[in-house]
Amino acid sequence: MLALLRKDLQVELRTKETLASLLLLGLLTLVVLSFAFDPTSELRAEAAPGALWVAVIFAGALGLNRSFLAEGENDCLQGLLLCPVDRGTIYLAKTAGNFVFMMIAQLVIVPIFIFFFNLPLSLGLGGVFLSLALGVLGFAAVGTLFAAISVRTRAREVMLPLLLLPLVVPIFIGGVTVTGRVLAGKPLADVAPWLNLMVGFDLIFLVVGWLVFEYAVEE
Amino acid sequence: MRRLDTSLAAANLVVMLAAIYAVFVYVPTDKFQGIVQRIFYFHVPLAIMTFVAFGTVAVASALFLWRGGRGWDRLAHSSAEVGMLFCTLVLITGPIWAKPIWGTWWTWDARLTTTLILWLIYAGYLMLRSISGPGDQGARYAAIVGVVGAIDIPIINRSVYWWRTIHPAVLITREGGSGLGDPRMRLTLEICFLAFLLLFVWLVRIRNQSVHLRDRLEDMRRQVLAH
């Protein structure tokens, strides 16, 4: 699994395609959403967590397509499937790769988010990143499975967001709530049920993906 | 097979007419909500049958992945289509009732939100089916979405429930207040349940048969082309 993950990371480091698309999409979403709110309004601070998560989810939904697109070229997926490893392992490696890419993108997007929405720097960044990590993990768990499916349908660009967005609603609501609370200066203990829910979501869908991935890549 | 379908259709027609009669003529008007409450007798059975339909999709999808067999796949496909129809009707009848009673077409109540997201999940499911076309690969993909979607539904329900309890709701209570005090109301509801149950079974069977025919046609065409 680590070898597969290293392969994906190496390919990414050479081309930087996924990272660039994730970053630019996230950035663009933040900018577009900034136009949606009056810059002088009080509402702006309240809408901030939502804006961050919309950026994460939309960039992710569009960006995850890439993770299997590259494998489609030169029949790389065939080669991967011929590896003497369990299909579930391939899934976990792919999910880990997507998780890493999305988190690296967050490292850039969050500072820009703070900058655009004029938030004080002293706020609990640890909490924000914790919620992002939990959310992105669940998102990658479902997204990687569906990306493997949608990449082989005709309308893959549309198909992935269409399938993925309704299913990640719990992640989205949880993420927005946790981020909002943390930015409002509340302790993490306040949102413990939400964190539990997100951890539960992550674990359930990692296991489901691990079990089911085999059917998604079978010829 | 044929005869069963015909008698099913006939029984359905009779019960559906009885249900319409009961809802519009037989049952007394609700004291508090007035005439609009009558839509409840269609709304609730439709909602329950939506859950039955999507539950069937989940079970049939899981069995298809586990055991294989086109029959399970066809059952999942037809249940999803009928479930989608029922879910759409739930989402239409709900607001018609809500406007005069709650004063708004829509509120982000937990149940409403879950139903809407259900609709979106299965819209994606059917979209995937129509895009991937007939064949084993498309069937497997759809089954995966069917299983993953079903596992997600309780989590979604939990999350929207918490979400709404944290924010103030326009109106939290539903249905409970008035209750079905009159025994005639309960009877009407039961007739409607039976009517929609029969409608569901009948529609799924018909859809199932047409999907079956389409699959056979596809197989034959492939054979002819192979020669």
Which tens digits make up the pLDDT trace of A50-105? 888 998 888 888 778 777 777 766 667 777 777 777 888 888 888 988 898 889 88
In the Cβ-directed half-sphere of A51, how many Cα atoms lie within 13 Å?
24
Confidence category of residue B169, pLDDT binned at 50, 70, 90: very low
Interface of A to B at Cβ within 8 Å reads 142, 145-146, 149-150, 152-155, 159, 162-163, 165-167, 169-170, 173-174, 177, 193-194, 197, 200-201, 204-205, 208, 212, 215-216, 218-219
**How far does the CA of residue B138 sit from the closest CA of chain A (Å)?**
8
pLDDT tens digits, residue range A37-46?
Answer: 776 666 777 7
Q: What is the pLDDT of residues B9-58, one digit of tens each?
A: 899 899 999 998 888 888 888 777 778 888 888 888 998 899 999 999 99
CA distances from A213 to A79, A139, B5, B65, B143 (A): 16, 15, 39, 11, 12
Query: Hey, of A208, A215, A218, which one would you mutate to test binding to chain B, going by the most B CBs within 10 A of its CB?
Result: A215
Output the pLDDT for position B126.
92
The length of chain A in residues reads 219
The Cα–Cα gap between A152 and B7 comes to: 43
Domain count, chain B: 1
Distance CA B132, CA B138 (A): 5
Q: Which residues of B touch A174 (CB under 8 A)?
A: 159
Q: Is the pLDDT of residue B134 over 70?
A: no
Min Cα–Cα distance to chain A from B125, Å: 7
**Quick check: is B32 in a domain?**
no
Residue B86 domain-assigned (yes or no) = yes
* Of A157-161, B109-113, B174-178, minimum mean pLDDT range: B174-178
Q: Which of B196, B58, B147, B185 is nearest to A211 (CA)?
A: B147
* CA-to-CA dists, residue B166 to A53, A190, B57, B162, angstroms: 19, 12, 32, 6
- Supply the pLDDT for residue B125: 92
Q: Which ranges of B25-135 would DSSP assign to H, the alpha helix?
A: 40-67, 70-102, 110-132
Q: What is the mean pLDDT of residues B186-211?
A: 90
**Is this prediction's ipTM beyond 0.90?**
no
- The range of the structural domain enclosing residue A14 comes to 2-217
- The answer on pLDDT for A211 being more than 50 is yes
Min distance B196 CA to chain A CA atoms (Å)? 27
Total domains in the fold of chain A: 1
Is residue B179 a part of any domain in this protein?
Answer: yes
Is B197 within 8 Å of B49 (Cβ atoms)? yes
Task: State which residues form the domain around B75.
Answer: 2-26+37-226
Q: Please give the Cα distance from A64 to B26 (Å, whole number).
A: 56
